[in-house]
């Protein structure tokens, strides 16, 4: 019972860090997926006095992935109030050209300003409609969401680090006597601290295994998958290989750091 | 005869304003039995600490087992300690280990084979009459029994030097006699050098010994 209690305090602290880290990763992935989704739906419309080739348009800015000429037929149909076909053909020739530009990714407001400036530098382009207001609101909402999650993850990290430091003091007190006694009989530092490192690595493995179980369950939860479906994105909640390796790496590194701090802070009794 | 300890102009202190041992010169021959006596606070335990390297000399030199302890590296100090057996008045046993594992400690540190370790521990447990308590933890034993475990641990790796700091200070007559018998046996049979810090030299002890008395920071040999 005492042994479980000894392990539990560090395991819980490590698990909190792993939990906040993985939540942060999921939010990052969701935002990226949502940005991709927005990028595919977001486009800029330009008005040109002359017909522009695809190559001409794509050369203006690297961000432009595709240019599609908009047909003037809808406009002409609305204007067509008994015009004969010759006049309609003439109207078609005199009307400016409209292009819908798709972008490689969802741009920041600053990138939109640069894009607009680049487009207007072309002497034939007379107007650029960037739908900046709608874009700006969505982008700010995304940033706010990311900010809130970052603050949450950072707060958990700080609180847990303080917990770990408290745990470090307890461990220092608990292991100090044994390490001193071993030192009196000439045990090298690695042998004196072997138990400590073994304990911390075992705790890291336990915490990682718990995190694996927890996130595997969350990733397979129908409710979670439905929530992502509602907002029209598909996100990898937990990659059993890559994410687990990352979590395990972080847990082991933190535990070894903790054990190393105890060993470095250990002073032999005089 | 080889000298296991040589001290020249040795001064020891815990702080700059108080010297515990002041410019002492003494030596201990290999295989000898030495008593260090003195009043409480005279510096007996301090001298012992300096011999196992827990306190570095402030001045002068102290050579133990051929190792100069002024400015000694941790590696060299660990090497020296692997050849010393120490018995403390407060036992210094690892509470979370069984007494068997406590006795094994110097053997594990010295890298002995598992079978040798087990045989040696079994023999020592018989010598200290604690064979039936092997699996117990130190706090389950009486003070006398704990000191016998500490004694077995100090003898386990056949050290060249045994240091004992008031080993019978808190013990009953039975345990005290057992401790003296073990120290006498190690000295006679294994030719181990034994240094004992004590208030009283036991009359029952049947060995030739050297006696140092510490007074006012000076170490004097008593004839």
pLDDT tens-place string over residues A125-171? 999 988 767 767 777 787 888 888 888 888 888 888 888 878 877 87
Q: What share of residues in chain B are helix, strand, coil (percent, to 5)?
A: 35, 25, 40
Sign, CA dihedral A217-A218-A220-A222, equals: positive
- Amino acid B203: pLDDT: 86
Sign, CA dihedral A28-A29-A34-A37, equals: positive
What is the rounded distance in angstroms from the CA atom of residue B92 to the CA atom of residue B151? 11
User: In the numeric block, which tokens belong to residue B25?
Assistant: 């010169």
What is the rounded distance in angstroms from the CA atom of residue B66 to the CA atom of residue B84? 13
Q: Do A187 and B74 touch (CB under 8 A)?
A: no
Q: How would you class A81 by CB atoms within 10 Å of its CB: exposed for 0-12, middle for 13-18, buried for 19 or more?
A: exposed
Q: Do B54 and A188 touch (CB under 8 A)?
A: no
**Which of helix, strand or coil describes residue A129?**
strand
- Amino acid B30: pLDDT: 94
**Pick among A176, A185, A187, A264 to test the B interface (most B CBs inside 10 A):** A185
Enumerate the CATH 3.30.70 domain ranges in chain A, comma separated: 43-130
Q: How far is B76 from chain A (nearest CA, A)?
A: 9
The predicted complex's ipTM stands at 0.91
Residue B98: pLDDT band by 50, 70, 90 thresholds? very high
What is the rounded distance in angstroms from the CA atom of residue A168 to the CA atom of residue B15? 30
The pLDDT mean for chain B works out to 93
Spans of chain A below 70 pLDDT: 1-3, 79-82, 132, 135, 269-270
Q: Do A178 and B96 touch (CB under 8 A)?
A: yes
List of chain A residues whose C-beta atoms are within 8 Å of the C-beta of residue B49: 270
Q: What is the mean pLDDT of residues B59-70?
A: 94
- Amino acid A168: pLDDT: 75
User: In the numeric block, which tokens belong to residue B106?
Assistant: 């110097």
Name the residue among A177, A181, A188 with its Cβ closest to that of B78.
A188
- Amino acid A38: pLDDT: 78
Q: Do B94 and A189 touch (CB under 8 A)?
A: no
Range scoring the smallest mean pLDDT among A266-270, B16-20, B75-79, B136-140: A266-270
- Amino acid B220: pLDDT: 92
**Pick among B45, B64, B81 to test the A interface (most A CBs inside 10 A):** B81
Residue of B nearest to A184 (CA): B81
Q: How far is B119 from chain A (nearest CA, A)?
A: 20
What is the rounded distance in angstroms from the CA atom of residue A224 to the CA atom of residue A122? 47
Name the residue among B54, B77, B96 with its Cβ closest to that of A270.
B54
- Amino acid A270: pLDDT: 52
Q: Does B79 touch chain A (CB under 8 A)?
A: yes
Q: Do B109 and A181 touch (CB under 8 A)?
A: no
Contacts of B160 (CB under 8 A, 6+ apart): B4, B30, B65, B83, B84, B192, B193
**pLDDT one-digit tens code per residue, B147-170:** 999 999 999 999 999 999 999 987
Cβ-based contacts under 8 A for chains A and B: 51
What is the rounded distance in angstroms from the CA atom of residue B161 to the CA atom of residue B186? 10
- Amino acid A2: pLDDT: 61
Q: Does B55 touch chain A (CB under 8 A)?
A: yes
Q: Do B86 and A185 touch (CB under 8 A)?
A: yes
Domain A43-130, CATH class in plain words: alpha beta
């Amino acid at each position: 019972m005492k042994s479980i209690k000894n392990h539990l305090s560090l395991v819980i602290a490590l698990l909190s860090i792993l939990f906040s880290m993985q939540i942060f990763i999921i939010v990052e992935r969701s935002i990226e997926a949502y940005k991709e989704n927005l990028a595919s739906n977001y486009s800029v419309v330009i008005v040109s006095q002359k017909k522009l080739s695809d190559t001409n348009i794509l050369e203006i800015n690297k961000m432009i992935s595709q240019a599609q000429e908009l047909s003037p037929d809808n406009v002409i149909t609305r204007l067509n109030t008994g015009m004969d076909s010759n006049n309609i053909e003439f109207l078609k020739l005199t009307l400016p050209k409209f292009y819908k530009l798709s972008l490689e990714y969802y741009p920041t407001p600053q990138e939109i300003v640069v894009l607009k400036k680049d487009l207007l530098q072309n002497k034939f382009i007379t107007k650029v409609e960037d739908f900046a207001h709608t874009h700006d609101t969505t982008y700010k909402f995304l940033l706010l969401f990311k900010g809130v999650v970052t603050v949450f993850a950072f707060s958990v990290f700080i609180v847990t680090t303080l917990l770990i430091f408290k745990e470090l003091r307890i461990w220092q007190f608990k292991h100090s006597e044994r390490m001193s006694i071993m030192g009196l009989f000439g045990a090298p530092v690695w042998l004196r601290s072997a138990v400590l490192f073994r304990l911390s690595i075992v705790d890291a493995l336990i915490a990682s295994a718990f995190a694996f179980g927890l996130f595997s369950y969350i990733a397979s939860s129908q409710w979670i998958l439905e929530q992502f479906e509602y907002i029209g994105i598909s996100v990898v909640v937990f990659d059993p290989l890559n994410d687990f390796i990352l979590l395990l790496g972080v847990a082991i590194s933190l535990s070894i750091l903790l054990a190393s701090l105890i060993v470095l802070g250990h002073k032999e009794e005089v | 005869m080889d000298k296991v300890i040589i001290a020249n102009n040795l001064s020891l202190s815990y702080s700059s304003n108080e010297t515990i041992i002041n410019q002492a010169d003494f030596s201990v021959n290999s295989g000898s039995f030495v008593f260090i006596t003195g009043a409480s606070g005279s510096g007996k335990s301090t001298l012992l600490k300096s011999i196992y390297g827990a306190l570095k000399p402030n001045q002068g030199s102290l050579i133990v087992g051929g190792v100069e302890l002024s400015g000694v590296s941790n590696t060299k100090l660990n090497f020296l300690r692997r050849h010393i057996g120490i018995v403390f008045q407060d036992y210094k046993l690892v509470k979370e280990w069984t007494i068997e594992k406590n006795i094994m400690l110097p053997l594990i540190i010295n890298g002995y084979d598992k079978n040798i370790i087990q045989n040696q521990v079994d023999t020592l447990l018989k010598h200290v009459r604690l064979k039936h308590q092997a699996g117990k933890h130190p706090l389950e034993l009486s003070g006398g029994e704990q000191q016998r475990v500490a004694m077995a641990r100090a003898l386990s790796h056949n050290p060249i030097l045994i240091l004992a700091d008031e080993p019978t200070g808190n013990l009953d007559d039975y345990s005290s006699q057992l401790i003296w018998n073990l120290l006498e046996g190690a000295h006679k049979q294994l030719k181990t050098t034994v240094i004992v810090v004590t208030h009283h030299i036991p009359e029952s002890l049947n060995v030739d010994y050297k006696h140092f008395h510490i007074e006012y920071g000076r170490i004097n040999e008593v004839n």
